[in-house]
Chain A
Amino acid sequence: MQDLQSLETEITAKLAVATSVGDVENIRIAELGKKGRVSLLMRELGKMTPEEKNEFGPKLNQLKNTLNAAVINRKNTLEEETLNIKLQSEGVDISLSAGSGDNGSIHPITQVLDEVTEIFTEMGFSVAEGPEIEEDFYNFTALNIPEEHPARQMHDTFYFPEDDEGNRKVLRTHTSPMQIRTMLEGEPPYRIIAPGRTYRNDSDATHTPMFHQVEALVIDKNIHMGHLKWCIEEFCKKFYERDDIKIRFRPSYFPFTEPSAEVDIGCSFKDGEILIGEGDDWLEIMGCGMVNERVLENVNLDPKEYQGFAFGLGLDRAAMLKWGIPDLREFFTSDLRWLKHYGFQALDIPSLSTRNSSIKRGK
């Protein structure tokens, strides 16, 4: 069937040069439509002898299928080309700004507080609270700091006017009054941290009249300085995200603890920067000790039954050390440039799973 072959060649060639989906459709109608050439040939089949049908029928069917496929194929190609041209024409300047979106941030003090809270709550502590305007009893007397004690002067206390009974309230000079409130209000044992704003009348390059502390208190029947040291070591490892932190206890004095210690952390001072966990220098980071028997008695606990430790550290200073923030005063100036640089993402919520730590190989 010489002419079937040439018919296929002819129609295929026509499809190949068709430039639109409409042209292809016209070709399909003209060749494969009801009155198309291929359809007319199909009609011829009826007039043929069975032998001719057997020979010519399959060939004609194949021609029809081939051409139908060629039509679809050509249509797809042309549609693809058309779409590509359209997409090309729709291009935009992707270098243009998409808009910066919202840029909120969390203050480093909140971040450091959330980190500290995360570490201690995981160790079984809860978080205590208390007023910032405090009574002399909670801030001083109950903490074994009597009126004439030299330690009172070291506190640079902010005072309010005398009330009718001659009492003067103070802005709490430390977070320790929250220990007293906790012990007076609840039943032992206690495991708390007490963070918050604290105030001292002092303002220079390294002091601000308002700053932040966090206090920890553990009172139970069998707590000793070994537990205290472990607690501080654990905290420092987790907070500074290093397992090789060195801690040093030095004897010191606080009216509310006995024995008392100051805690130094191993560090190095390089080019004005402090690197925690490296080098042979020491940096004081907190004060601590076993709660003074007189304090326990002031909150109606029997020192023969209960004992425990307390420690306190400056949150502002901890933030400065951890993140290398140079100037304390800038914490409180609300300067947007500072907030952008030192602030934290809203969703950067501290958790123990996201901090650096390692598990030592078993021995």
Chain B
Amino acid sequence: MKFTLSWLKTYLDTDVDLFTISETLTAIGLEVEEVIDPTEGLKPFVIAKIEKTEQHPNADKLRVCTVNNGNEIIQVVCGAPNAKAGLIGAFAPSGCTIPTNGLKLKPSNIRGVDSNGMMCSERELGLGDDHDGIIVLPSDAPIGASFADYANLNDPTIEIAITPNHQDALGVYGIARDLAAAGIGTLIKPDISKISGNFKSPITINIEDKNACPVFAGRYIRGVKNGPSPEWMQRRLISLGMKPISALVDITNFMTHDYGRPLHVFDADNITGNLKVRLSKSGEKLLALDEKEYVFDDQVCVISDNKAINSIGGVMGGAGSGTYDETKNVFLECAWFDPIRTAMTGRKLGIESDARYRFERGVDPSTVLDGIEIATRLILDMCGGQPSEVEVSGKVPVISKTIIMRPERVKELGGINISKAEVIDILKRLGFKVTDNDKTLEVTSPSWRCDIDREPDLVEEVLRIYGYNKIVGEPLPASSRDIVAGLSPMQKRIRMAKRRAAVCGLREVITWSFISSSQAMLFADPKPELILDNPVSSDLNAMRPNLLPNLITAAGRNSDRGIKSVALFEAGNQFYSDKIDGQNFVIAGIRRGQKNERHWQKNSEDINVYDAKADAISILNAIGVKADNAQVVAEAPAWYHPGRSGVIRLGPKNIMAYFGEIHPNILKKLDVKGPLVGFEIMLGNIPLPRSKVGNSRGPLKSSDFQSVERDFAFVVSKDLAAEQLVKVISSVDKKLIDSVNVFDVYEGAGIDDGKKSIAVNVRLQPFNKTMTDDEIEEFRQDVISIVIKKTGGTLR
């Protein structure tokens, strides 16, 4: 909502300055977004007189003017045809900037003659389109004075944000009313006295649907003469960014922004018969003022004559229903339309209009009868004509509510102690009717406040006028019952997982939760319930079933920028259904390129599946999973390389993580070059540790007896998983064996085809006594025989 200071002052008698007005607006909930002072750019411009002119010696069209700016005599070369001695105009001195074109004036020499500053045209100062000559001011204009002050341009524009509950402030009058209640001026009421009609309106109104339109006031005005509206009205419309069109059109626009009262002026000669307010029939159409054709269902409130629909009630007029330069007779409409229906109609038809904006928020019903008088007065003033009597159909609805208020609720909800007397005073200033019933107040809201619903609304009204700034912070009281604070075990786990991933060298990213459906289909069967109806763009239409595609394409974008080695992770939801349990929290990561940057000490090796496995295991360990107890099997989903990927699980149904090289077909479809590995950890699938009392870690069990290490190398089938060999060896003596580590895997010369050699280090830790050589040898033989028996391998 925009208005100028002088406009506001037509309704607010006040001495306070602009700053106070602006601060007060914000303080009462009409937040000032911007104050524009149009004189800011015009400050250097002064009124000056051309004392004499001479022909420029070297240019036919130029004149050399001697200009008096009230302070000094300046020589200015001027090309304007009307520049002549004695002319008084607007002078721009050297050093200032022309507001409309940004040109900075400098002392110059034009064809051999010095020139300082210039005499301006209207267009150069943004005052109009006239550029045929320089501005000519009356002969009594004070030389040396500020041009902006003289020309009454000193009228700042204020722009405020209107919250949906403040429909009462969608007109300048309503804003003045609220400021007056806040105590910074007196409200000046418009003349709403009744204009008596000379005849009965030849057009009658019939309301068919009283819910859609409870009241419709109309007036016929005969013999008007349309033309431009007066300058004051044009200026106000221009300050809103609107283009003045003609008096009849401008009056409706003005009434909307001035009094918050949208109304419509029909060319009465284009109305066939009488007007009817009714619901549309399915399939009916209207070409509206915006020159678009709208097709209705059976729920739109329309105004039609005997022949066709003329306008959409409260939203927009029809193209043929407006007024023209040659309009002679008009019919003025001032009605009240149901806010909900207006909102639904506007939304269905996709029409944004100033009328809809106001009606859907709730126009003050009392302005139906007041508004028609104000508008009639403006039409008679500007266009002349003979008014009919006002034709009113229906009844003005009462939207005021009466609420029982406990005055102490101001303190209980708002935290400020305000006396009952002051509460009553503030409410009355705001136009509420208040009856004091001792313990409670009976409060009736004014017709312009359709948002007032319950007691807390009244508390807010009192607080906003009293001043939100007077609320003083007060520490939270103790909870009325014991409640749990802090993070849940899962939340701690997520935090730990992210930090651990970063320690692993992965950089956290956050990417869109939606991807293209073609990418989604690489990772899951398409689910229509996960496709957005109105995506921000067609390639962001599917809720992601997997975090990997965004990570993979992010790696691609970075490598396109020349960053070859990329390691990223993201923690977020994957979507399997639109149900609450179909949104699962996952942490996933990828690595692309080399393990490390090229380094003089290390070889640059391509990353491989084990890097992804290491990331997954590190994170699982960090969140307290004993990864040793988990199974690692080669059954990863189809988006992984079938031979270089795995699943980490607690059982066939309980999958904790996937890891592996990404399948080359997936990389090809996502247009990213490998090598690229990734992992996914399904945090929700991992059981939380059993909660136990206290934080004790239990005693440390360590042994003072010497530990023993023995190395073995077995030749086994190439297909045997190393993990299997480790498990077989570990089974020999679970108490004695401290660890079994694979330290070498070899295939090639010296080893038969289809076989491989696995070397392991076994560390024994006795707890009772030091082991003898015989005991150690016995253990060694046990290991060898069980490996031969269980794996078919041989000692190398």
Q: Point out residues on A near B: beta carbons under 8 Å.
A: 96-97, 99-107, 109-110, 114, 117, 121, 123-127, 131-133, 148-151, 153-154, 158-161, 163, 168-169, 171, 187-191, 197, 199, 201-203, 209-210, 218, 220-231, 233, 248-253, 255, 258-262, 290, 292-294, 307, 331-337, 339-340, 343, 345-347, 349
Provide a sorted-by-A list of 21 A–B residue pairs whose CB atoms are within 8 angstroms: A97-B600, A104-B502, A109-B510, A126-B487, A126-B488, A148-B344, A189-B481, A189-B483, A191-B476, A209-B514, A210-B512, A220-B479, A225-B416, A225-B471, A249-B468, A250-B468, A253-B163, A253-B166, A332-B510, A334-B550, A334-B551
Residues of A near B540 (CB, < 8 A) are 209
Q: Which of B26, B414, B596, B601 makes the CB contact (< 8 A) with A224?
A: B414
Q: Please give 10 more A-B residue pairs, beta carbons under 8 A apart, in addition to A104-B501, A226-B472.
A: A99-B596, A104-B567, A123-B476, A127-B487, A133-B530, A149-B343, A158-B534, A209-B512, A225-B414, A253-B163
Complex: A5 Cα to B485 Cα, angstroms: 89
Complex: A351 Cα to B790 Cα, angstroms: 54
Return the CB mask of B451-485 against A: 1 if under 8 Å, else 0: 00111110110011000110111111101110111
A255 to chain B: closest residue by CB: B164
Complex: A238 Cα to B561 Cα, angstroms: 39
> Is the beta-carbon distance between B503 and A347 smaller than 8 angstroms?
yes
> Is the beta-carbon distance between B414 and A158 smaller than 8 angstroms?
no
Complex: A354 Cα to B535 Cα, angstroms: 43
Q: Which of B415, B454, B504, B600 makes the CB contact (< 8 A) with A102?
A: B504
> Is the beta-carbon distance between B471 and A229 smaller than 8 angstroms?
yes
Q: Which of B347, B456, B491, B530 makes the CB contact (< 8 A) with A160?
A: B530
B414 to chain A: closest residue by CB: A225
For the complex, is B675 an interface residue (Cβ under 8 Å from A)?
A: no
For the complex, is B721 an interface residue (Cβ under 8 Å from A)?
A: no
> Is the beta-carbon distance between A132 and B583 smaller than 8 angstroms?
yes
> Is the beta-carbon distance between B532 and A251 smaller than 8 angstroms?
no
> Is the beta-carbon distance between B512 and A250 smaller than 8 angstroms?
no
Complex: A123 Cα to B658 Cα, angstroms: 39
Complex: A137 Cα to B485 Cα, angstroms: 27
Complex: A174 Cα to B597 Cα, angstroms: 42
> Is the beta-carbon distance between B457 and A258 smaller than 8 angstroms?
yes
B342 to chain A: closest residue by CB: A148
Return the CB mask of B429-467 against A: 1 if under 8 Å, else 0: 000000000000000000000000111110110011000
Known contacts A158-B535, A191-B485, A334-B558; decide if A252 and B473 are in contact (CB<8 Å).
no
For the complex, is B195 an interface residue (Cβ under 8 Å from A)?
A: no
For the complex, is B219 an interface residue (Cβ under 8 Å from A)?
A: no
Known contacts A163-B529, A226-B415; decide if A250 and B27 are in contact (CB<8 Å).
yes
> Is the beta-carbon distance between A121 and B503 smaller than 8 angstroms?
no
Residues of A near B483 (CB, < 8 A) are 124, 126, 189-191
In the assembled complex, the CB of B291 is this many whole angstroms from the nearest CB of chain A, namely 24
Among A102, A189, A220, A251, the most chain B Cβ lie within 10 Å of the Cβ of: A251
Complex: A150 Cα to B346 Cα, angstroms: 11
Chain B interface size range = 35 or more
In the assembled complex, the CB of B308 is this many whole angstroms from the nearest CB of chain A, namely 28
For the complex, is B536 an interface residue (Cβ under 8 Å from A)?
A: yes
In the assembled complex, the CB of B167 is this many whole angstroms from the nearest CB of chain A, namely 9
Q: Which of B480, B486, B502, B504 makes the CB contact (< 8 A) with A189?
A: B480
Residues of B near A169 (CB, < 8 A) are 529, 578
In the assembled complex, the CB of A27 is this many whole angstroms from the nearest CB of chain B, namely 45
Return the CB mask of B560-597 against A: 1 if under 8 Å, else 0: 01010011100111010010101100000000000011
Complex: A254 Cα to B508 Cα, angstroms: 34
Residues of A near B501 (CB, < 8 A) are 104
Residues of B near A101 (CB, < 8 A) are 505
For the complex, is B135 an interface residue (Cβ under 8 Å from A)?
A: no
A306 to chain B: closest residue by CB: B480
In the assembled complex, the CB of B671 is this many whole angstroms from the nearest CB of chain A, namely 16
Q: Which of A228, A250, A292, A336 makes the CB contact (< 8 A) with B29?
A: A250
Complex: A59 Cα to B456 Cα, angstroms: 112
Residues of A near B347 (CB, < 8 A) are 153
Q: Which of A102, A133, A227, A345 makes the CB contact (< 8 A) with B543?
A: A133
> Is the beta-carbon distance between B508 and A110 smaller than 8 angstroms?
yes
Complex: A261 Cα to B31 Cα, angstroms: 11
For the complex, is B495 an interface residue (Cβ under 8 Å from A)?
A: yes
For the complex, is B525 an interface residue (Cβ under 8 Å from A)?
A: no
In the assembled complex, the CB of B454 is this many whole angstroms from the nearest CB of chain A, namely 6
> Is the beta-carbon distance between A121 and B554 smaller than 8 angstroms?
no
> Is the beta-carbon distance between B460 and A251 smaller than 8 angstroms?
yes
For the complex, is B22 an interface residue (Cβ under 8 Å from A)?
A: no
Q: Point out residues on B near A: beta carbons under 8 Å.
A: 26-29, 31, 163-166, 339-340, 343-344, 347, 360-361, 411-416, 453-457, 459-460, 463-464, 468-469, 471-477, 479-481, 483-488, 491, 495, 498-514, 528-536, 540, 543, 550-551, 554, 557-558, 561, 563, 566-568, 571-573, 575, 578, 580, 582-583, 596-597, 599-602
Known contacts A133-B575, A133-B578, A189-B481; decide if A339 and B509 are in contact (CB<8 Å).
yes
> Is the beta-carbon distance between A226 and B473 smaller than 8 angstroms?
yes
Residues of A near B453 (CB, < 8 A) are 258
> Is the beta-carbon distance between A251 and B464 smaller than 8 angstroms?
yes
Known contacts A104-B501, A104-B503; decide if A227 and B477 are in contact (CB<8 Å).
yes
Complex: A251 Cα to B178 Cα, angstroms: 13
> Is the beta-carbon distance between B505 and A102 smaller than 8 angstroms?
yes
Residues of B near A124 (CB, < 8 A) are 476, 479, 483, 485
> Is the beta-carbon distance between A227 and B479 smaller than 8 angstroms?
no
A253 to chain B: closest residue by CB: B163
> Is the beta-carbon distance between B477 and A107 smaller than 8 angstroms?
no
> Is the beta-carbon distance between B474 and A253 smaller than 8 angstroms?
no
In the assembled complex, the CB of B284 is this many whole angstroms from the nearest CB of chain A, namely 22
In the assembled complex, the CB of B710 is this many whole angstroms from the nearest CB of chain A, namely 34
Known contacts A189-B480, A231-B476, A253-B166; decide if A203 and B536 are in contact (CB<8 Å).
yes
Complex: A148 Cα to B342 Cα, angstroms: 9
> Is the beta-carbon distance between B532 and A171 smaller than 8 angstroms?
yes
> Is the beta-carbon distance between B456 and A293 smaller than 8 angstroms?
yes
Known contacts A107-B509, A191-B485, A220-B480; decide if A102 and B503 are in contact (CB<8 Å).
yes
> Is the beta-carbon distance between A221 and B480 smaller than 8 angstroms?
yes
Q: Which of A197, A230, A307, A340 makes the CB contact (< 8 A) with B474?
A: A230
In the assembled complex, the CB of B32 is this many whole angstroms from the nearest CB of chain A, namely 10
B476 to chain A: closest residue by CB: A227
Residues of B near A230 (CB, < 8 A) are 473-476
Q: Which of A104, A127, A255 makes the CB contact (< 8 A) with B507?
A: A104
> Is the beta-carbon distance between B505 and A99 smaller than 8 angstroms?
no
Complex: A331 Cα to B554 Cα, angstroms: 13
Complex: A209 Cα to B27 Cα, angstroms: 32
Known contacts A191-B479, A335-B558, A343-B507; decide if A160 and B566 are in contact (CB<8 Å).
no
Known contacts A103-B507, A251-B468; decide if A161 and B412 are in contact (CB<8 Å).
no
Complex: A330 Cα to B543 Cα, angstroms: 21
In the assembled complex, the CB of A252 is this many whole angstroms from the nearest CB of chain B, namely 6
Residues of B near A345 (CB, < 8 A) are 502
Known contacts A133-B578, A225-B413; decide if A104 and B512 are in contact (CB<8 Å).
no
Complex: A293 Cα to B458 Cα, angstroms: 13
> Is the beta-carbon distance between A334 and B557 smaller than 8 angstroms?
yes
A218 to chain B: closest residue by CB: B476
> Is the beta-carbon distance between B468 and A261 smaller than 8 angstroms?
yes
Complex: A96 Cα to B602 Cα, angstroms: 13
Residues of A near B480 (CB, < 8 A) are 189, 220-222
In the assembled complex, the CB of A193 is this many whole angstroms from the nearest CB of chain B, namely 11
> Is the beta-carbon distance between A336 and B474 smaller than 8 angstroms?
no
Residues of B near A201 (CB, < 8 A) are 534, 536
> Is the beta-carbon distance between A224 and B567 smaller than 8 angstroms?
no
Known contacts A99-B599, A334-B557; decide if A290 and B456 are in contact (CB<8 Å).
yes
Residues of A near B557 (CB, < 8 A) are 333-335
Complex: A202 Cα to B536 Cα, angstroms: 7
Complex: A109 Cα to B570 Cα, angstroms: 12
Residues of A near B511 (CB, < 8 A) are 332, 334
Q: Which of B460, B504, B535, B543 makes the CB contact (< 8 A) with A260?
A: B460
Complex: A258 Cα to B455 Cα, angstroms: 9
Known contacts A150-B164, A160-B532; decide if A126 and B484 are in contact (CB<8 Å).
yes
